């Protein structure tokens, strides 16, 4: 499943549409965010995570979405279940992101 780019205007609607969601918060200037982008795309196509929707949000341009996930460092990955924040972690380690996604099952 492709990664879906969302903004403040459609963030809540995307969370409401899907029961299991992981969101990557990034900024264009963030080197770690850029390095993680291909890993995130690969994870979105991983068979283990077929029931999870992968979203990405530019944290600098979308302050409302950023607040809902408690983002204060980048990259941050937030998991939501039925629209409710489950976990928000600031990391560039793939294993930590996989562990957070696996908790959604």
Q: Which of 3, 6, 21, 33 is catalytic?
A: 33
DSSP assignment of 39-79: HHHHHHT-GGGTT-EEEEEETTT-HHHHHHHT--SSSEEEE
Is residue 90 part of the annotated active site? The answer reads no
Judge residue 76's burial from the number of C-beta atoms within 10 Å of its C-beta, 0-12 exposed, 13-18 middle, 19 or more buried: buried
Q: Which of 4, 8, 10, 30 is catalytic?
A: 30
> Which residues are catalytically annotated?
30, 33
């Amino acid at each position: 499943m492709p990664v879906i780019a969302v903004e403040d205007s459609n963030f809540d609607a995307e969370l409401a549409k899907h029961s299991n969601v992981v969101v990557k918060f990034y900024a264009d200037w963030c080197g770690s965010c850029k390095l993680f982008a291909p890993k995130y795309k690969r994870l979105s196509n991983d068979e283990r995570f077929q029931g999870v929707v992968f979203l990405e949000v530019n944290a600098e341009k979308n302050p409302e979405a950023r607040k809902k996930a408690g983002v204060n460092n980048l990259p941050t990955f937030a998991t939501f279940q039925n629209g409710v924040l489950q976990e928000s972690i600031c990391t560039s380690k793939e294993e930590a992101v996989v562990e957070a996604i696996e908790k959604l099952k």
